[in-house]
Structure 1
Amino acid sequence: MFEITGGKVQKAKKVVLYGPEGIGKSSLAAQFPNSVFIDTEGSTTELDVKRFPKPTSWEMINQQVRYAIQQGPSLIGTLVIDTIDWAEMQCNESVCASHNKKGIEDFGYGKGYIFAAEEFGRFLNLLSDVVEAGIHVVLSAHSQIVKFEQPDEMGAYDRYQLKLGQKTSSRTAALVKEWADMVLFINYKTFSVAADQKGTKHKAQGGVRTVYATHHPAWDAKNRHGLPDEFTLDYGQIAHIFAGAAPVSPPTQIAPPTPPPTAVVAQTTQTEPAQVASSSQQPAAATPETQDGLNPNIPQSLRDLMAQHQVQEYEIQLVVSQKGYYPNDTPICNYDSSFIEGVLVGAWQQVFGMIQDARNKIPFS
């Protein structure tokens, strides 16, 4: 039997804010309830906001989102990704690294964009899990102006769109718009256009930052809350939508997330596994160290994940040697960059799972 219910369902919201650079997207997002930023650009340094460390890889962004889910609405009211178009670039880099490609178009026949859209779709599903946990999600994005051709041959005109997937083969912009409950376009509204004495040169005069909440031939926008077509850039205009929308669970103390252990590292080569080294063996070569005790020559994207999960270089060397990729005494900084980004970073959850297995197998002395 199925239960039929009626009425509105109170739940957290999925919001997209987009517009030209410097218009105030981040400042608006900062006013959402108890907002915490994933600052992909590192551009919120002048704002008094709570933020995660600047992510240096696509995997790190995903880890931060999972951490937000575990913390719950008692500690995070709104998760802000600022900006989603910079996150998309890291997504594309991860897809390229996992397939040993230099660029998204190196796949040929648009396959790279298909892989990227699939990965990006999984990320949007993860953000939906954030919403289900009772946390609002705000994605800020830059806008781009594109030439739009009317299908009825009435002419072409410029229109504003999300600066996502600037190639026609990309599908990420459509995915984001469909995913969101609310897409708000922010721009300066021009009051008048003045011409010079000859009437040949024109320039805009005056303007106010304006939010556009409904679709228009010149821009993408939507909302499901009966907002006016346009209003001044003021959080007070939309604050009522988020008041009490997200259910708040009792405060809980949750440790930082650790991915579930798995048995294998993603395969990128057909090299046969080498002999498994002793789990207690550590390379003897001395290396310079940073404050977190890691070799500063290790690429930043991997070093951040190692520091976050308290993983030492010898532990990665061990699991890599177990799979037969490199000898156990090979420093990580000597690994091929595509192997580091495509396997160690791109499949970090599997790598960390193997490290946890190795830790569990070390005998007590």
Structure 2
Amino acid sequence: MMSPQRNGSPPPRTPGGPQSKPLSPSRMTLDALVRGKRTAPLRVVLYGVEGIGKSTFGANAPAPVFLGAEDGTDHLDVTRFPSPESWQEVLDAVRVLTVEQHEYRTLVVDTLDWAEPLLWAHICKRDQQDNIESYGYGKGYSAALDEWRVFLAALDKLRRQKGMHIILLAHCWIKPFKNPEGDDFDRYELKLNAKASGLVKEWAEHVLFANHETYASKDARTKRVRGISTGARLIYTTRTAAYDAKNRGDLPESMPLSWADFTAALEAHQPADPQALEVAIREKAEQLSETHKRSALAAIERAGGDAVKLAKLNDWTNARLGEAA
């Protein structure tokens, strides 16, 4: 004979009884597998020297809206948020784009190094610290990483819900690099605290470095070396000792600084068609001075059909045409 249940005690559960909750079917099934490449909004970090044209790159992206306090967009016919005066206002702008209906397709943050002091002021006020150094050696910058993660997560939510491209612009500075394999050297770096810089570069699909194309020339008589600029403005997509860069589209190592060239290279996974570039350069060369025309035609021959070299030459001819206009 079974002993009676104690007063108020729940009855024992039996497998499959009325109190068991059915398990939800898992989404992780072989039938749910998806094949092939996916087209998704871009996560781009573009940094470079002052006045190179970073804001113009963002302005030429699809239906952009700018967030930042930089004066570099005054000459551009673009849509802007009011200049944020706090880190919370930066987050508010991202939230508004995420939850409200609009037609914008690209958010351009101009620039990250302008936003970083707002973030520092925010956490210092929250944590009752005088400044970012008051936390103790390096601890303030580590605390700031949590807020950077919140920001980047908000950007990813915006990408998912609204299908918007994200372009984060930044300046650069020259910093000494401690080389574990040899002598130390200087290199261009993202103008952020090193910890934040590493996090942002890891988040981005494409980290692009923008600079003027230059080369070194040694005077045969004096033996002095001087830098000469070709006038071309380029973006570099692959890391070198001189700068950080990366891409996930098998892009050429360099290309003209333009959203159109960048996205065209992404779509093709290679530089523009060499024959088409050569035809375009020859047509433009006819509008140049005789000296520049000869230089352009000679450079075509030296390029030998190399699309990357021809892309640089095309940008050079564009610069020469701009000077003559």
Give the TM-score normalised by structure 1.
0.61
| Deviates most, 101-110 or 38-47 | 38-47
Q: Which residue of 2 is the match for residue 12 of structure 1?
A: 41
Contact 1:88 1:120 in 2 (8 A): no
CA distance in 2, matches of 1:86, 1:206: 28
| Cα distance between partner residues in 1 of 2:123 and 2:131 | 9
- In structure 2, the partner of 1:164 is 192
- Residue identity over aligned pairs, in percent, reads 38
Partner of 2:98: 69
Q: Distance in 2 between matches of 1:235 and 1:140?
A: 13
- The 8 Å contact of residues 251 and 266 in structure 2, kept in 1 or not, is answered as no
CA RMSD of aligned residues (A): 1.9
Contact 1:14 1:136 in 2 (8 A): yes
Equivalent residue of 1:161, what SS?
Answer: strand
CA contact (8 A) 1:33 1:242 kept: no
Quote the residue 1:140 is aligned against: 169
| Structure 2 counterpart of 1:326 | none
The within-5 A match list for 1:1-365 is: 1=26, 2=28, 3-71=32-100, 75-133=103-161, 134-152=163-181, 154-165=182-193, 170-195=194-219, 198-200=222-224, 202-207=225-230, 208-240=232-264
Q: Would you say the 8 A contact 2:249–2:266 is kept in 1?
A: no
Contact 1:184 1:221 in 2 (8 A): yes
SS of structure 2 residue aligned to 1:121:
helix
Q: 1:18 to 1:28 in 2, by over 3 A?
A: same
Note the C-alpha offset of 1:194. Answer: 4.4
RCO (CA 8 Å, sep 6+): is it higher in 1 or 2?
Answer: 1
Once the two structures are TM-superposed, the CA of residue 196 in structure 1 deviates from its matched residue by 8.7
Structure 1 runs (4+) greater than 3 angstroms displaced: 194-200, 240-243
Structure 2, gaps ≥5 residues long: 1-25, 268-325
CA distance in 1, matches of 2:63, 2:223: 51
Question: Residue 265 of structure 1 aligns with which residue?
Answer: none
2:276 matched residue in structure 1: none
Query: Aligned equivalents of 1:45 and 1:222: distance in 2?
Result: 30
Gaps of 5+ in 1: 244-365
Deviation at 1:101, TM superposition (A): 2.0
Q: Could you tell me whether the CA contact under 8 Å between 1:42 and 1:54 is conserved in 2?
A: no
Secondary structure of residue in 2 paired with 1:76: coil
Q: Given that residues 190 and 205 in structure 1 are in contact (C-alpha distance below 8 angstroms), is that contact kept between their aligned partners in structure 2?
A: yes
Judge which range, 109-118 or 186-195, deviates more.
Answer: 186-195
TM score, norm. by length of structure 2: 0.69
Secondary structure of 1:238's partner? helix
1:193-216, CA deviations, whole angstroms, 9 ceiling, x for partnerless residues? 34495334x431223211101121
SS in 1 for 2:187: strand
Q: Could you tell me how far apart the structure 1 residues matched to 2:71 and 2:89 are?
A: 14
1:140 counterpart SS class = strand
> The residue matched to 1:147 in structure 2 has which SS?
strand
Distance 2:213 2:229 in 1: 8
